[in-house]
């Protein structure tokens, strides 16, 4: 981000605070999040679409009460996908009508709570859920705004585990075979549901806009079929999230305004061709807002050179604070941030402290050959899906999230303690 610099001794400074001070005050590992960067990315997304669209930040990427307040202040909406995320959002004052509730297996209790709270939309994910939500809304004497999530049959070019638009998977209702049209038919018949639109999310960490183009084309095709069959033009479409960010210098992400322009053009063009009123668009970026805003600060422990292979650099965290390398073969970069070094670079692998050989944070990296225990290293772009997917494996304590801004640091999620761990242990 813009506020990251190096001082004369090579010490990294972010938001006006140097990492040695952060490590002293808050310990390591720690996620260090640049609040100004977060806010400016959130704002860039909101302003990119002007008033023609709604931006729902995907809370699964990283959610805390501070984040909810920032989003609220910046005029973004929020996508939640569990009762826990919903509770966090509501407790931090996000107005319920600006919350969208997702998930392929929302429980009856979760649905009831969302309807009672008055969430702006529930994204229906199956035939059973159409009936379930309708029933609960009727019981509560209300009419719930809903979207139907469909799978458009696009192969997104990303890791299999994070691609979500092909049909053979658990999310959504397939467009194929008239299933989505049938879902719409049923939803329109139920008085306690107000069907406001169609939803499609094709996957994550996507750079190529062509998948979104195909998705938009097919969603608009469905809107047209709905108009022809029922005489109603649904007012909204949601194209999901999934926009890629730069994890390493090989990635070349697109800016929000380019994405907004491309999506708006596709939808407008498709609607004109189908003689439909252009629906209001919504998007759900998670990673693209929070991913680049944080890095993980680790202290180097054991440094183990293996002759002819590489040097294993162990840090004080690992797969418990970043599971993405083990899970998706994700690529990250890493640098020495507590000093400068003129030493020859060495081929390194940054690994954690867990009892597992797959506990790798950065698979291949060049680090200075004089790297030593006590040095601080930073892994950038860990704002999304690292703290939110963190675990207590090996009873390692989950790191804090420290927000920095204007020379001030503030803990927004504190470090876990042994008491936290033991609190759940009964007997």
Interface residues toward ligand LLP, by CB under 6 A:
58, 60-61, 79, 102, 162, 201, 204-205, 240-243, 284-288, 324, 384-385
Burial (CB count <10 Å: 0-12, 13-18, 19+), residue 73: exposed
Which residue's CB is nearer to ligand LLP, number 195 or number 288? 288
Which residue's CB is nearer to ligand LLP, number 13 or number 282? 282
CB of 389 to ligand LLP, least distance (A): 6
Which residue's CB is nearer to ligand LLP, number 287 or number 349? 287
Show the beta-strand stretches assigned E in 125-220: 144-151, 173-174, 193-199
| Phi, psi (degrees; rounded to nearest 5) at 24 | -65, -45
Copy the structure tokens of residue 376: 């601080």
Which residue's CB is nearer to ligand LLP, number 15 or number 241? 241
Instruction: Please give the span between the terminal C-alpha atoms of the chain, in angstroms, as a whole number.
Output: 47
Q: Three-state SS for 205?
A: coil
CB of 336 to ligand LLP, least distance (A): 26
**Pair 253, 288: CB distance under 8 Å:** yes
What DSSP assignment string belongs to 267-336?
HHHHHHHTT-PPPEEEE--SHHHHGGGEEEEEEEEEEEEETTTEEEEEES--TTT--HHHHH------EE
Which residue's CB is nearer to ligand LLP, number 245 or number 409? 245
Q: Three-state SS for 206?
A: strand
Handedness of CA 310, 329, 250, 380 (dihedral sign): negative
CB of 387 to ligand LLP, least distance (A): 11
The full length of the chain comes to 427
Show the beta-strand stretches assigned E in 175-235: 193-199
**Pair 102, 130: CB distance under 8 Å:** no
CB of 307 to ligand LLP, least distance (A): 35
Our answer to whether residue 355 is catalytic in this structure is: yes
CB of 63 to ligand LLP, least distance (A): 12
Which residue's CB is nearer to ligand LLP, number 204 or number 320? 204
CB of 207 to ligand LLP, least distance (A): 12
Among the listed residues 225, 182, 175, the one whose alpha carbon sits nearest the alpha carbon of residue 200:
175
**Pair 196, 100: CB distance under 8 Å:** no
Which residue's CB is nearer to ligand LLP, number 85 or number 299? 85
CB of 84 to ligand LLP, least distance (A): 15
**Pair 34, 14: CB distance under 8 Å:** yes
The one catalytic residue in 81, 271, 355, 386 is 355
Catalytic positions are 355
């Amino acid at each position: 981000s813009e506020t990251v610099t190096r001082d004369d001794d090579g010490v990294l400074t972010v938001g006006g605070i140097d990492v040695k001070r952060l490590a002293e005050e808050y310990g390591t590992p720690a996620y260090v999040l640049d609040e100004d960067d977060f806010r400016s990315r959130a704002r860039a997304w909101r302003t990119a679409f002007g008033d023609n669209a709604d931006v729902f930040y995907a809370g699964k990427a990283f959610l805390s009460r501070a984040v909810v307040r920032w989003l609220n202040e910046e005029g973004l909406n929020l996508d939640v996908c569990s009762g826990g995320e919903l509770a966090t959002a509501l407790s931090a004052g996000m107005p319920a009508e600006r919350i969208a509730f997702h998930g392929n297996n929302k429980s009856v209790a979760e649905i009831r709570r969302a309807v009672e709270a008055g969430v702006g939309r529930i994204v229906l994910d199956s035939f059973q859920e159409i009936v379930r939500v309708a029933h609960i809304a009727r019981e509560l004497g209300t009419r719930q705004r809903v979207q139907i999530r469909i799978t458009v049959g696009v192969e997104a070019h990303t890791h299999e585990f994070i691609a979500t638009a092909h049909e053979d998977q658990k999310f959504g209702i397939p467009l194929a075979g008239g299933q989505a049209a049938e879902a719409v038919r049923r939803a329109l018949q139920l008085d306690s549901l107000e069907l406001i639109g169609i939803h499609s999310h094709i996957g994550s960490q996507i750079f190529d806009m062509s998948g979104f183009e195909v998705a938009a084309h097919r969603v608009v095709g469905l809107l047209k079929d709905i108009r022809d069959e029922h005489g109603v033009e649904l007012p909204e479409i949601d194209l999901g999230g999934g926009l890629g960010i730069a994890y390493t210098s090989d990635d070349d992400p697109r800016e929000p305004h380019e994405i907004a322009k491309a999506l708006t053009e596709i939808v407008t063009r498709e609607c004109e061709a189908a003689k439909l009123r252009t629906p209001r668009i919504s998007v759900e970026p998670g990673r693209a807002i929070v991913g680049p805003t944080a890095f993980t600060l680790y202290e180097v422990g054991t440094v183990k050179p293996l002759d002819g292979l590489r040097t294993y650099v162990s840090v004080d965290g690992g797969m418990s604070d970043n599971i993405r390398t083990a899970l998706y073969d994700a690529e990250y970069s890493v640098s020495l941030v507590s000093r400068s070094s003129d030493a020859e670079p060495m081929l390194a692998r940054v690994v954690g402290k867990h009892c597992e050989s797959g506990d790798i944070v950065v698979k291949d990296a060049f680090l200075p050959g004089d790297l030593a225990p006590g040095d601080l290293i930073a892994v950038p772009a860990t704002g999304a899906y690292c703290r939110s997917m963190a675990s207590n494996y090996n009873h390692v304590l989950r790191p804090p999230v420290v927000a920095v801004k204007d020379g001030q640091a503030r803990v927004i999620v504190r470090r876990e303690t042994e008491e936290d761990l033991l609190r759940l242990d009964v007997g």
